[in-house]
Amino acid sequence: MRSVSHSLAALARTASALQRPLGRLSFPSGHLCPLDSLSRPNQWRWMHGARCGPSVDEVAVPYGWCIDGEGPITVAVNRCAHAVVFEPCRDALRLPANVEALVVDAALRLLGVSTPPPNETPSELIDAFWLDQLLGLCMISPLGEPPSWPILAALHPCTTGFPVSGLVRHEQASAMSTWEQLRTDVMNSRVPWVPLTPTLAAWFDEGSLARWLHAGFPDTETMLNELAELLPPVDFERVLASLTSSQR
């Protein structure tokens, strides 16, 4: 916590007490301004697509309530990419946890600051999307009557056909080998299965885009465990062999 400035910590406390997002201006020096008078805790997504002017040095955004309801937990960031979380129920400041990653990303992008690089790859996102589609279809299929392999394979967003072995090949996936390429493709409306507008894709950077998209899916291991119970062994093995990440 030594790296967090006194002003950033104070801004987090003030925004939590007022229950509204605030910005600290560089001119007039230290002046506070409301960022969105209509926002409420748990409704921090108003930041998506928004951008503060260069005079705003720090922002603090309430995003959720403490269990005892004493006040909203608040994330504050500055243009040096420092971040702090204030918990009013404990009257304590701490560094952000993984659960706050999306809020921190949005606050940094609100300032136009780069977010940390992603840990996941675009291939893992493609796999997560496909597995989620398979799981959703299996869940609504009659008991003991799982979808056939051609139907499962056709759900893959990057398939271009089925080879003799029955495995899905992903020729389109090689063109999205980086997050920047995927982001560019979304900005140019070339990735219809990614639920983002071109404008919002341009607002995200690589790290924030990756974390936002991955957050929409369960983890891959959980989905594979479910599919192993729902699919015939031969089709489940085909799924494993057809994962985009396994073909790198």
Count up the domains in the chain and report the number: 2
Q: What is the mean pLDDT of residues 208-226?
A: 95
pLDDT at 169: 59
Structural domain of 22: 6-110
2-61 per-position pLDDT tens digit: 556 899 999 999 999 998 999 999 887 789 998 875 455 457 888 999 999 999 999 999
- Is the same domain home to 128 and 240? yes
Least confident interval from 56-60, 78-82, 94-98, 174-178: 174-178
The Cα–Cα gap between 111 and 160 comes to 40
Q: Considering the chain, what is the average pLDDT of its residues?
A: 87
pLDDT at 175: 52
Q: For residue 229, tell me if it sits in a domain.
A: yes
- Is the same domain home to 79 and 106? yes
Q: For residue 117, tell me if it sits in a domain.
A: no
Q: What is the mean pLDDT of residues 116-122?
A: 94
The Cα–Cα gap between 186 and 154 comes to 21
120-155 per-position pLDDT tens digit: 999 999 999 999 999 999 999 998 899 999 999 989
User: Exposure of 113 by Cβ count < 10 A (0-12 exposed, 13-18 middle, 19+ buried)?
Assistant: middle
